[in-house]
Amino acid sequence: AQKVTQAQTEISVVEKEDVTLDCVYETRDTTYYLFWYKQPPSGELVFLIRRNSFDEQNEISGRYSWNFQKSTSSFNFTITASQVVDSAVYFCALSEARTGNTGKLIFGQGTTLQVKP
Amino acid sequence: EAGVAQSPRYKIIEKRQSVAFWCNPISGHATLYWYQQILGQGPKLLIQFQNNGVVDDSQLPKDRFSAERLKGVDSTLKIQPAKLEDSAVYLCASSLTVGLRFFGPGTRLTVL
């Protein structure tokens, strides 16, 4: 069965600190997608990144970076020099990748990040 | 490009009452999803449509929940009768490409 585990329920940091959000996944599929979404207090889920299982290159986008390691089934998310606006709930998610089907998206429990000024 | 629209944003009802939520996906998106997000948890898929056909409704409590997507565009999700444990945010999402979903703002339902 597919499963996503975000062991960190809540993280609190002070502005400008770096913070890493952990994500561990389980799947028997050889082809799959991994995602990170941000859910600010307004409630809307904001897409951050999609990574397919064949692409293990790490990615950097501004202050955000992602580390995908198939060997440990992890897809961790790092925010560098955190800002108060980064305060939100962050979800890691896993999707099957069937041809012609967008697949079921399985979410982790979420990590609440609080960035204090 | 307009995003996924949902209404109402908030709804408070008493248990055993009925309620309906509406979703308008991004134009051209054939796949539409309804998710239930209980406080403190990640969203859980209730139903997935491809155009106006159901692809996956395995986690939809069919004794009380129903959903339709007439003409393959807008969708409504109904709960009848509501229970206390249905209190949650109901998120609608739509998708064009494999795996990439765009979410609406959600409807927060409180059942008293």
* Cβ–Cβ below 8 Å for B45 and A95: no
- Least Cα separation, residue B56 to chain A (angstroms): 8
Contact with chain B for residue A117, Cβ under 8 A: no
The upper half-sphere exposure of residue A38, i.e. CA atoms within 13 Å in the direction of its Cβ, equals: 17
Q: Where are the alpha helices (DSSP H) in A31-115?
A: none
Nearest to B42 among A52, A97, A110 (CB): A110
Of the residues B59, B101, B107, the best mutation for testing chain A's interface (the one with the most A CB atoms within 10 Å of its CB) is B101
For B49-70, what is each residue's pLDDT tens digit? 988 899 889 999 999 999 999 8
- Residue A99, pLDDT > 50, answer no
pLDDT at A58: 85
pLDDT at residue B99, rounded to an integer: 59
Measured between CA atoms, how close is B99 to chain A, in angstroms?
5
* Chain B contact set for A104 (CB, 8 A): 45, 48, 56
Joined together, the tokens standing for residue B101 give 């979903």
Asked if A4 and B40 come within 8 Å (Cβ–Cβ), the reply is no
Would the pLDDT of B38 be above 70?
Answer: yes
Per DSSP, the three-state class of B12 is: strand
CB-based contact (8 Å) between B53 and chain A?
no
Rg (CA), chain B: 13
- Torsion of Cα atoms, B46 then B48 then B49 then B55, to 10°: -110
Q: Could you tell me what percentage of chain A is helix, strand and coil, using 3-state DSSP and rounding each to the nearest 5?
A: 5, 55, 40
CA distance A59 to A56: 9
Mean pLDDT of B89-96: 92
Nearest to A43 among B50, B55, B105 (CB): B105
Please report the pLDDT score of residue A23 as a whole number.
98
What stretch of H or E contains B32? Answer: strand B31-37
With a pLDDT cut of 70, the percent of chain B lying above it is 96
Is pLDDT at B76 greater than 70 in this prediction? Answer: yes
* Tens digits of residue pLDDT in A36-67: 999 998 888 998 998 888 888 888 889 999 99
Query: What's the mean per-residue pLDDT of chain A?
Result: 90
- Summarize pLDDT for A83-98 with one digit per residue, the tens: 999 999 999 999 876 6
Could you tell me if B57 lies within 8 Å of chain A, comparing CB atoms?
A: no
